């Protein structure tokens, strides 16, 4: 193998290693959220219920894609909200209006994503039954 080829192979293996490491951090984040965040556990349980409802309704692939994207978006926003809350509580545990505003903004992001999810769900049900 040429030097160039060997270098490329090494770069690829380092990249894969980094990918595995990042996946490991992500799994650790999911475990932390499941253990310490009631809202995340509720989100996961309601996601399972929504997936079961979608399977029962049996919509087309596009509806499935919309539902799965909305569920992932809602879960991801909940995770970001939990991360921001724990950062705020660690860095600035005392009361401060800007900490309050930061937490309120993160809560608003969760609310917005959940509203989008509800709309997609209602439209999917409406398209099937109305
Ligand atoms: N340090 C603070 N300074 C100012 N306002 C705060 C502070 N901590 C919390 N708040 C206010 O209280 C609200 C709720 O904050 P809290 O940290 O209890 O979040 P939560 O959504 O109830 O999450 P959890 O139940 O996971 O702790 C915030 O959105 C904010 O308005």
Domain ranges of the chain: 1-36, 38-129
Contacts of 121 by beta carbon, 8 Å cutoff, 6+ apart: 50, 53, 67, 70
- State the distance from the centre of ligand 1 to the C-alpha of 17, rounded, in angstroms: 38
- The upper half-sphere exposure of residue 54, i.e. CA atoms within 13 Å in the direction of its Cβ, equals 25
CA distance linking residue 23 with residue 25, whole number of Å? 5
Ligand 1 binding pocket (C-beta < 6 A) is 39, 85, 95-96, 99-100, 103-104, 107
Does the interface predicted TM-score (ipTM) exceed 0.90? Answer: yes
Residue whose tokens read 């499941």: 34
pLDDT, tens digit, 9 for 90 and up, residues 87-102: 999 999 999 999 999 9
- State the distance from the centre of ligand 1 to the C-alpha of 100, rounded, in angstroms: 6
What are the tokens at 19?
A: 């990918």
- SS3 label, residue 118: helix
Give, in words, the CATH class of 38-129: mainly alpha
pLDDT, tens digit, 9 for 90 and up, residues 45-74: 999 999 999 999 999 999 999 999 999 999
């Amino acid at each position: 193998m040429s030097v160039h080829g060997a270098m490329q192979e090494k770069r690829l293996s380092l990249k894969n290693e980094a990918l595995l490491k990042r996946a490991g951090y992500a799994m650790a984040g999911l475990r932390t959220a499941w253990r310490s965040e009631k809202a995340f556990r509720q989100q996961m349980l309601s996601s399972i219920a929504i997936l079961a409802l979608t399977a029962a309704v049996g919509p087309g692939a596009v509806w499935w894609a919309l539902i799965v994207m909305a569920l992932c978006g809602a879960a991801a926003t909940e995770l970001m909200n939990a991360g921001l809350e724990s950062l705020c509580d660690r860095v600035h545990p005392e009361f401060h209006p800007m900490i309050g505003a930061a937490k309120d903004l993160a809560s608003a992001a969760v609310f917005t994503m959940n509203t989008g999810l509800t709309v997609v769900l209602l439209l999917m049900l409406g398209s099937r039954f109305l």
